Amino acid sequence: MKLVGKAIPHESAPLHVTGQALYTDDLLPRYPNALHAWPVQAPHAHARVLRMETEPALAVPGVVRVLTARDVPGLNDSGLKGDEPLFPEEVMYFGQAVAWVLAESEEAARLGAERVEVAYEPLPAILSVEEAIRQGSFQGATLEVRRGDVEAGLRASARVLEGRLELGGQEHFYLETQASIALLDESGQVFVHSSTQHPSETQEIVAQVLGLPRNRVTVQCIRMGGGFGGKEVQANPYAAVAALGAYLTGRPVRVRLNRLQDIVLTGKRHPFYARYKVGFSEDGLLNALHIELFSDGGWSQDLSEPVMARALCHVDNAYYIPNLRAVGRVCKTHKTSQTAFRGFGGPQGMVFIEEILDRVARSLGLPPEVVRERNFYRREGSRNITPYGQEVKDVERIQLIWEELKRSALFEERRLEVAEFNQKNPHRKRGIAITPVKFGISFNFTAYNQAGALVLVYQDGSVQVNHGGTEMGQGLHTKIQQIAAEALGVPLDAIRVMPTRTDKVPNTSATAASTGADLNGAAVKLACEKIKVRLAGVAAQRFGVNPADVVFENGQVWSLWKPEERLSFAEVVRAAYAQRVQLFADGFYRTPGLHWDKARMWGKPFHYFAFGAAVSEVEVDGFTGQYTLRRVDILHDVGDSLSPLVDLGQVEGGFIQGLGWLTLEDLRWDEKGQVATRSASTYKLPSFSELPEVFNVWLLPRATEPGVVYGSKAVGEPPLMLAISVREALKDAVAAFGGGGIVELASPATPEAVYWAIEKVRQRALVTGD
C-alpha cells in the first residue's frame, strides 16, 4: 500500500472547513497586550513629504507611538534592491504608507492615523505604460531572448502580420490579507509570525530594518490563507513594521491589513503590453517573430525583472519559432509595485503567442488548432531547442496530450456541432478552442533551487518533519506528509509536519515557482532515508540479516528472510535509542544540471517542463456580449502524482484563477492613480456561477518524471495557463458573428469587451460583404 500517490484530503481539510485552522492573525488572542498598527496613507500617486506632525496622533486616547523613518535603527528599506523605503520621503503611489500608528486598539490606531498631519508637494505621476514608454521611465535591465535572424526571417516570409495586445493585471485576493504579529523576548530576540511565502527573506528584511544579525530574528509561518505569489516578497514590509513596533515598545505588535488596505497597498499581477511582427508561411508555419514586451512594474523593482524573464522564456509556449527576437522592458509607474502572481509572467508570454497563432490562422482561413499543432516543437529543423537554448525534454508529450485530449473531449465532433449551432442561430454563437501549455519548472535564478529539511524521530516512533516550504492551501504539507511516511515506512498519522520556521531550516527559498514539493519533498526524503539506513542497521542486527534486506512498511519492520517475524517501527526506534543511534537527520537537495546566463538569457534554466492542454467551449450572446462556459476538458501532466486529490484541486483552482484573470477581473485605476476596484463588489472574482457546466480534468497516466521526488511533477502554476483556451474559444465564437478574419478581443474578455469585438467583426462583414 503506497502512501505517495494515494488520494487523500488536504492535511488541514477538517480544520479548514470547520473554521479551526489558525492563520497568523488568529493568534492575536494569545497576546492580550498587543498593539495594533494602522498606516498613514498618502493621498497622492507621486509627491514629496515636506513635513510630518505626529503629536496630534499621540493625543488620541490609546495611541502609544507613531513609527516614522527616524525610528528605524537599521536600514529604512523593506526590499533587497534598495528602492523600497519603509517610511518614504517621496511618495511613489497612491495610498502608500508614510508612517504607522501603534495603539491599544485597532480603532484607536485608525483615529490616530487620521490625526497625523502630513504636508505633501504633489509631483507629476506616470500612470500608464504608454506614458512610461513615452517618458522613458523604466526599471531594471532590458532583457532579450534572441535566436536566428529575425529581420531576414521576416523578409523571407510569405506573410507578415503586425499587432499589439494589452493584458490587464490581477489582484491576488487571497482570502487572508497580509498579516504579521511580532514579539520581543527578554534577551532582545525578535520573533515574527508572518503570513509569508518566504520566511527566510522576511527574516532577512526584519533583520535589515532593525540592524540585527539574522540569528536574533526568527520568522514563523503557520499557514497562509492563500499567497498566489502575493506573499513572495510583499509580506516583508508588514512584518518589518510589526517587528519595528515590537522592538521599540517591547510589546507584541500586530499588523493586519483590511481588504481595502491590502488592495490599495500591495502589488498585483503585471499588466503587459506587447507589440509584434510575425512572419509565416502560407501553411501557417511561424518563421520569424519580433516581439517587444512592456510590463507595468509599478513603483519599485520588486520581482518585475524575473517576472519579465519568465515571460520571455514562455513566449514560445509549445511552439518552435526559428527566428525570434523577444525584448522585455519593465516600466516604472506610480502604482503599486507589481509582483509575483501564479505563473510569474509565464501566462502573459503565453497569451501573446496564442493570440498571434490565432491571428495567423484566421488570416489564412485555417482552423487555429491546425495552425497550433503544425507549429509544435519537433517540427522540422527544431531540434526541440527553445530560443534560450534548452532542449525540450519529453517533447512528444505535447502531441500525445493534444491527441488524447482531442479524443476524450470529442473535439472534432463538437467542432461540427458548434458550426451547426452557429448556422442555425444568428444571435447566439458558440466557439471552441484547444490550447497547449508548456511551463518550465525551477527558479530561473539557479541559486534558489535548493532546499533543506530537518526530520526528528521521537522514541515512541512518532515523527516531526521540518522543511523550508510554506503551506498556502496548495497542499504542500499533505504531500510532505505522504513523502515522509512513504520514505520511513510509517503510517501517515505518525508524521507531523511542523509550521515553517527559520530556526529549524535556515536560508530557505520562497515557496514559489511551483517548486515547493520538488525541492522540499526531495530534502525531506533524503533526511528520512538517512534515518532509515541507521534504523535498518539496528533492525538487521536483531533479525540477523543484511540491512539491505530489511523492509519498513506501515509502521512495521521485517526482513525478507522471515517476513512473519515483525517489529514495530517504535520498537526499532527504541532499540536504536538504546544503542545511541542518532534519531534525527537533515536533508539537503539542490536541483542538478541547471545553469543560466542572465545577461545572454541563455542556458538550461528549467529542470523539466510541465505539460497540459485544455479544450473550452463557450456560448456568446450577440446582443450583450454575455457568455457562458459550457464545457472544459483538461489533460494535465503532473508526472506520477504525489497526491491526486490535491493535484486535481490545483488544476481546477489554477484554471479558474486563470479564467478570472482573462475574462472577469478588471482592475481599474482612476485619473489620480487610485485603484478604483477596491473590493469584491467592484472587482469581479470567479465564483460558482462561472464554473463550467461540464468540467472534466484528467491527469496524464504513465507520466513518471525521473529525477524528481517519487517521479512527480510540479503542479501549482502551470494549470492557470490552461484558461487561455477560454479566451481563444471566445474569439472563435466572436468570429462566427462575422465572415471570418482576425478577431480583436481586449483582455480581460468581459462581456463588454466581447460585445465590442463582435461589433468589429460585424462591421467588417458589412463593409466587405463577407
Q: Are 660 and 667 in contact (CB under 8 A)?
A: no
Question: By C-beta, is 373 or 518 nearer to ligand MTE?
Answer: 518
With binding defined as CB under 6 A, does residue 197 bind ligand MOS? yes
Q: How far is the CB of 669 from ligand MOS (least distance, A)?
A: 22
User: What is the SS3 assignment for 671?
Assistant: coil
Q: What are phi and psi of 129, to 5 degrees?
A: -60, -40
Cα–Cα distance measured from residue 546 to residue 140, given in angstroms and rounded to the nearest whole number: 59
Of the candidates 232, 471, 728, 732, which one interacts with ligand MOS according to CB under 6 A? 232
With binding defined as CB under 6 A, does residue 340 bind ligand MOS? yes
Residue with cell 465564483: 687
Cα–Cα distance measured from residue 284 to residue 665, given in angstroms and rounded to the nearest whole number: 32
Stretch that binds ligand MOS, among 50-58, 65-73, 334-342, 641-649 (CB under 6 A): 334-342
Q: Are 341 and 269 in contact (CB under 8 A)?
A: yes
With binding defined as CB under 6 A, does residue 229 bind ligand MOS? yes
Residue among 393, 368, 75, 7 nearest 236 (CA): 75
Q: How many residues bind ligand MTE (CB under 6 A)?
A: 21
Strands lying side by side in the sheet with 138-147? 138-147, 323-331, 286-296, 272-280, 159-167
Q: Which does residue 256 touch among ligand MTE, ligand MOS, none (CB within 5 to 8 A, set by kind)?
A: none
User: In 210-285, at which residue ranges do the beta strands (DSSP E only) sit?
Assistant: 217-221, 253-256, 272-280
With binding defined as CB under 6 A, does residue 344 bind ligand MOS? yes
Q: Which does residue 474 touch among ligand MTE, ligand MOS, none (CB within 5 to 8 A, set by kind)?
A: ligand MTE
Q: CA-CA distances (angstroms) from residue 55 to 58, 66, 561?
A: 5, 9, 81
Region 453-512 residues binding ligand MOS, contact defined as CB under 6 A: 512
Kindly report the CA angle at 728 between 725 and 732, in degrees rounded to 5? 130
Catalytic-role residue among 717, 728, 744, 752: 717
Q: How far is the CB of 199 from ligand MOS (least distance, A)?
A: 14
Q: What are phi and psi of 516, to 5 degrees?
A: -50, -50
Q: Are 654 and 18 in contact (CB under 8 A)?
A: no
Neighbouring residues of 169: CB distance < 8 A, sequence distance ≥ 6: 268, 269, 270, 271, 296, 338, 667
Q: How far is the CB of 342 from ligand MOS (least distance, A)?
A: 5
Question: By C-beta, is 218 or 442 nearer to ligand MTE?
Answer: 442
Question: By C-beta, is 229 or 452 nearer to ligand MTE?
Answer: 229
Of the candidates 227, 322, 468, 738, which one interacts with ligand MTE according to CB under 6 A? 227
717 is catalytic: yes
With binding defined as CB under 6 A, does residue 606 bind ligand MOS? no
Tell me, residue by residue from 443 to 472, as one string, x for binding to ligand MTE by CB under 6 A and - for no binding: -----------------------------x
Q: How many CB atoms are closer than 10 A to CB 259?
A: 13
Question: By C-beta, is 243 or 340 nearer to ligand MOS?
Answer: 340
Question: By C-beta, is 96 or 197 nearer to ligand MOS?
Answer: 197
Question: By C-beta, is 561 or 588 nearer to ligand MTE?
Answer: 588
Of the candidates 147, 310, 342, 429, which one interacts with ligand MTE according to CB under 6 A? 342
Q: How many CB atoms are closer than 10 A to CB 554?
A: 13
Residue with cell 472534432: 412
User: What is the SS3 assignment for 18?
Assistant: helix
Region 508-527 residues binding ligand MTE, contact defined as CB under 6 A: 511-517
Q: Write out the residues near ligand MOS by the rule CB under 6 A.
A: 197, 229, 232, 340-342, 344, 512-513, 717
Catalytic residues: 717
Q: Write out the residues near ligand MTE by the rule CB under 6 A.
A: 226-229, 342, 472-474, 476, 511-517, 650, 653, 714, 716-717
